[in-house]
Structure 1
Amino acid sequence: MPPKQAKADSRATTLLLKKHKTTILLSLQPHEPLTAVKEKLLEAFKSRNMTEVNGEPVPSDPTLIEFGVPVDRSDLEKGWNLLQSDGAKGTAGKKASSGTILAAGLASGHLVAFRFRQARDVPASDDVDGDIELNDPGWDVVTPSFDDEEE
């Protein structure tokens, strides 16, 4: 009897994770938690022996990764909002109740910014909500342009 072939799952969601000029494509299941996405992102870095992105060291702890979603998907220059994976409302106002890709409203082809936080930047308690925005380092995402470069 021949071995079973693995079938491609049509429900897979492909996310484009972006920081500076680096884009990583991950094919994931919609029911996967965002914490697993962070782990798979770190695995992708390790598989390519990448230790830094734009001079910033890649952390070994997935809890030091934050995701951001565009304010306006048709105009990325408007900025990014923090995507909360713990059920709390982020600045986007979206609630990822179960912390999954589907619950966060992410579909195949969505751009998701990521950034690395230093251990000291992570709040000690979950009840801090307004203070996080005051220390927001921003999102380092370079959007490609089709304009001719000026000489």
Structure 2
Amino acid sequence: MTETHEIGMVYLAASDLELADAADDVRGLPVVTQLGHRLGEVEDLIIDPVERRARLLSVVSGGILGLGVTERLVPVEAITRVDDRVHVDRPEPAGDGDGRHRGDPADLAEEGYQPELVDRPPFAEVYERYGVMPFWTAGYVVPYFLRR
């Protein structure tokens, strides 16, 4: 099981786990901001293996023929609704630090390719960039995404 270096979270596709609630599986849906700008598409979910709940979306965008693909992490706390798209109530955070570029054609073309968990900011930084409270803090309120 590919595990992150913090809090023991894992990519769903790289694990043998199933989500606690199948309705949380939004992989393949486009992600848009409150202004309707497309951020990308949900490629995978980063889950905590204890509760088997999605905690972050792995949203990919850009690239031509597999080159220059950008991955951005989006906390589920930033999601306001899910229909045929995932709606994020906060504008895209500034800066590049919440994702990484990957574009090695050999890696991307390889069947079953799963992103490695390297060159990532601490998860607390991702939550801070979106201005939301991380799930591991005292006083955490379960967000819309996990209550729907």
Fold match by TM threshold 0.5: no
Q: Higher relative contact order at CA 8 Å, sep ≥6: structure 1 or structure 2?
A: 1
What is the TM-score when the length of structure 1 is the normalising length?
0.28
Give the strand-richer structure, 1 or 2. Answer: 2
Q: Greater Rg, structure 1 or structure 2?
A: 1
What is the TM-score when the length of structure 2 is the normalising length?
0.29
